[in-house]
Structure 1
Amino acid sequence: MGKDSKSKDSGSKGKGKQAAGGSEDGASKGKGKAGKGDGLGTCTYVKTRHVLCEKQSKINEAYKILQEGWLNNGDKVPPAEFAKVAAAYSECPSGKKGGDLGWFPRGKMAGPFQEVAFNTPVGATSAPFKSTHGYHFILSEGRKN
């Protein structure tokens, strides 16, 4: 997931449908700045987990597990459960760490990945999406300035 030439945030374009009930900062360790709406797309750093698969069929299979267990009920996916799916399905080296990518700033990740990561509410899971590296879905764990 390298940086690409499209590092500016152009807002969400319908990609990354989130689970219901996402909260702004939940367990965020950042300094909550009032007056910034829901904070989506305005933070400087995000903390995410993800699953990466080369084939769309495999990412859909992994995502179906989360849908059946939590998302269809409007529940948030617990990070420990997301980590199990990432360990079993992700083809990224981060899969061994439950898909944990830690904190990263704007401009570090490729365009589509960055767009979804910075526009998924904390605690929510994105829908599968395609990037230059394959197919992903993301669990947003935090945001800060």
Structure 2
Amino acid sequence: MGKDSKTKDAGAKGKGKGKQAAGGSDENASKGKGKSGKASDGLGTCTYVKARHILCEKQGKINEAYQKLQDGWLSNGDKVPPAEFAKLASEYSECPSGKKGGDLGWFPRGKMAGPFQDVAFATQIGATSAPFKSTHGYHVILCEGRKN
């Protein structure tokens, strides 16, 4: 039960941070309405996501990494540049992907476990999720792309 509520909270927070990336949604809105009739934000309609992440065993460490993102970009409403996110992932992430700047590449729906997948597919392109917990530890995700 606790995991579900945390996942929903993290997803909601991730969506809130995604507002900073919504500036270019006018172009997507004209494309999104036509064929499928689904929401133009593209959330929940794609089958693949390209993402980077930072994984830490301890909540305090992920909060420290997230604070650096906040101080550098998010508090100003800016997007975190992938290269800057990659630097923080190299410094903070305890996942083997940290050596590659947290790059997970493209992955399909169903490949990642529960909360990670939920947050990855709910975070808008260019946006950074709030810290959240999965079975592997604490994460922050940067969504870099979507495709079907």
| Partners of 1:123 and 1:139 within 8 A in 2 | yes
Q: Deviations over 1:79-106 (max 9, x none)?
A: 0000000000000000000000000000
Which structure has greater helix proportion?
A: 2
User: What's the C-alpha RMSD, in Å, of the aligned pairs?
Assistant: 1.9
CA separation of 1:45/1:24 partners in 2, compared to 1, >3 Å: closer, same or farther? farther
Residue deviations 1:24-44, cap 9 Å, x none? 988xxxxx9522321101100
TM-score by length of structure 1 reads: 0.83
Among the aligned pairs, what percent are the same residue? 75
Tell whether the 8 Å contact from 1:53 to 1:91 is kept in structure 2 after alignment.
yes
**Tell me, which stretches of 5 or more residues in structure 2 are unaligned?**
1-6
Deviation string, structure 1 residues 46-80 (Cα, Å, up to 9, x no partner) = 00000000000000011110000000011000000
Q: Is the 8 A contact 1:24 1:39 kept in 2?
A: no
The structure number with the bigger radius of gyration is 2
2:92 matches 1:89: yes
The answer for the alignment partner of 1:78 in structure 2 is 81
Q: Match for 2:8 among 13, 17, 20?
A: 13
The separation in 1 between residues aligned to 2:78 and 2:23, in whole angstroms, is 16
Structure 2 length normalisation: TM-score? 0.81
Asked whether 1:34 is paired with 2:29, we answer: no
**Match of residue 106, structure 2, among 93, 103, 109:** 103
